[in-house]
A and B are shown apart, each in its own frame.
Chain A
Amino acid sequence: MDREQLALLKELMALEFTALEFNLYLDTHPTDQRALMEFNSVIPQLRAVKQKYQERYGPLTAEEPSSYPWQWINEPWPWEICYE
């Protein structure tokens, strides 16, 4: 995986993590309006980066339309990537 792809993947991981951290916090603080606003502002950023990543490097889930041949099985899988 080239450095550009890895950088975008890490950006996506960071945004996904931010969303998850707010998700868990909101589960036990569903009326915290500030946290809710923060969560709502992260989601469009996450969606945009996810879309950009998938357009460039292929599907992240098997629910994306695919060019020929079926792109979902393309390597590398997550355990095959060198993250260092």
Chain B
Amino acid sequence: MWIYEKKLQYPAKVGRANVKMAKYLITQYGGPDGELAASLRYLTQRYHMPTPQAKGILTDIGTEELAHLEIIATLVYKLMDRASIEEIKAADLGGYYADHDKGLYYVNGEGVPWTAAYIQSKGDPVADLHEDMAAEEKARATYEWLINLSDDPDLNDTLKFLREREIVHFQRFGETLQIVQEYLDSKKYY
């Protein structure tokens, strides 16, 4: 089970409202390499992991990704919160507004809704851990492109924190893959 704690993992800082940036950033909410995909990927892959380290890391990183999802939601909410209709139209978000007003919905930067096809659960721990390492690198790259798109130092501070987390997760998944491979090899030969 999970217990909600009424705080963010890291301060979600926004220097100024910026609807265009909200449109770009929402891909980390509901896009292919976003935090929802990350969390759901790891939390569903954990059931067929063969070692305690792998079960632990997928549970804990899958949970941390939910905390990142909440940070992204907070950032998008703050970037959009006081936007006028004119600003929404200028950012070409009229289509989003017609369907959701300023409500948060799981879409990428182009408005494409989230789909489970973004993630895999192969039943094969080696295949899944490779996917997880690639997913972390893709999420890291996405944060880099978002930082390139943003000129808001407060927002970039929060985005840099999230980018760093992808690097740490990649490292932990690499260690987990090695542990799992050694375990599978030992089962095969001895």
B100 adjacent to chain A (CB < 8 Å): no
Bound together, the chains give a CA A60 to CA B13 distance in angstroms of 21
A62 adjacent to chain B (CB < 8 Å): yes
Find the B residue at minimum CB distance from A10: B11
Contact with B along A63-84 (1 / 0, CB 8 A): 1000000001000011101011
Given A20, A63, A78, which contacts B70 in the complex, CB threshold below 8 Å?
A78
Find the A residue at minimum CB distance from B161: A17
**Contacts A83-B11, A83-B13, A84-B13 given: A25-B6 contact, CB under 8 Å?**
no
A33 adjacent to chain B (CB < 8 Å): no
Q: Are A60 and B53 in contact (CB under 8 A)?
A: no
Q: Are A27 and B56 in contact (CB under 8 A)?
A: yes
Contact with B along A6-21 (1 / 0, CB 8 A): 0001101100110011
Bound together, the chains give a CA A24 to CA B169 distance in angstroms of 8
Cβ < 8 Å to A, chain B residues 115-174: 154, 168-169, 172
B47 adjacent to chain A (CB < 8 Å): no
A-B contact count (CB 8 A): 75
Q: Are A83 and B7 in contact (CB under 8 A)?
A: no
B interface, size bucket: 20 to 34
Residues of A within 8 A of B113 (CB): none
Closest 9 CB pairs of A and B: A83-B11, A28-B175, A79-B74, A27-B56, A27-B57, A78-B8, A83-B13, A60-B6, A60-B5
25 contacts between A and B (CB under 8 A): A13-B10, A17-B9, A20-B9, A24-B60, A24-B168, A24-B169, A24-B172, A27-B53, A27-B176, A28-B175, A28-B176, A30-B52, A30-B53, A60-B6, A60-B7, A61-B3, A61-B5, A78-B6, A79-B12, A79-B74, A83-B12, A83-B13, A84-B13, A84-B15, A84-B154
A10-B11, A83-B12 given; name 17 further pairs at CB < 8 Å.
Answer: A12-B7, A13-B7, A13-B9, A13-B11, A16-B7, A16-B9, A24-B57, A24-B60, A24-B61, A27-B176, A28-B53, A28-B176, A63-B3, A78-B12, A79-B73, A81-B8, A83-B11
